[in-house]
Amino acid sequence: MEPQLIANTRCRTGEGPLWHPDREIVYWVDIPRGRLFSYDPATGEHELRYEDSVISALTLQADGSLLLFMDRGRILRWDDDSTTPVVDGIPAERDSRFNDVIADPEGRIFCGTMPTDDRLGRLYRLDRDGSIVELDDGYDIPNGMGFTPDGTGLYLTESNARRIYRFEYDATTGDLSDRRVFVETPEHDGVPDGMTVDADGNVWSARWNGHRVVRYAPDGTVIGRIELPVKKVSCPTFGGSNYADLYVTTAGGDDEGDEAGALFRISEAGSGVPEFRSRIAT
């Protein structure tokens, strides 16, 4: 499986790839430059779609629009050229930003925020009515998340601790419980970053400073690696008409080489599933 460079946007921190099945394009962001990009595999063209101060992550709403997760706890609804504030900010995050997020089967969103100089990161849940609940804290960069295929578990990455956790998840209430370590990654293997879960329950975890995406079986056994030609590999997602293509964002576009910060595609890499759509009142 050879990675193909498909959009050389030289992102400083490319992140958050998300396949939009209605439009058959993939979106992703460059976090510190606040840029939202899209790539259309039918034409082979990519374009800059929106710019703001910081955009960290995104979800696909039920109506086809996107929610953009930003600095200071801000959340914005974006639909082509139209934007609508959804959350003006979270007072406790005025000196931070969102990091990774994921929509759950009921349309809620789990959201991690970055550490600051005097505290570690937090995990929130954004409920469908727009209210925000703090679920947990003390994370040294809360990062990639994904649900088990049976809908009973949520994975959450803690990057600098080099761990991926598994929670028990209650779809009815949105509650998380019984956190345990799914895998603890070795120091020589880069830092675990974004992730996705395929139809068979395998976990695909990107490696910041590790040049690769690592695939784990549901029992935590390493069953595959895909090497990329850049050091800072940030997040994978499945896309395409049959969700067999793996799209991977990377970072380091300022100083890590010609292909750093590009979007890559690995064709026929596996069997992915659509991400759940958020259903947040706007």
Active-site residue set: 193
The full 3-state SS of the chain, as one line of letters, equals: CCCEEEECCCCCEEEEEEEECCCCEEEEEECCCCEEEEEECCCCEEEEEEECCCEEEEEEECCCCEEEEEECCCEEEEECCEEEEEECCCHHHCCCEEEEEEECCCCCEEEEECCECCECEEEEEECCCCCEEEEEEEECCEEEEEECCCCCEEEEEECCCCEEEEEEECCCCCCEEEEEEEEECCHHHCEEEEEEECCCCCEEEEEECCCEEEEECCCCCEEEEEECCCCCEEEEEEECCCCCEEEEEEECCCCCCCCCCCEEEECCCCCCCCCCCECCCC
Separation between Cα atoms, residue 51 and residue 47, nearest integer Å: 12
CA 140 – CA 270 distance, rounded (Å): 30
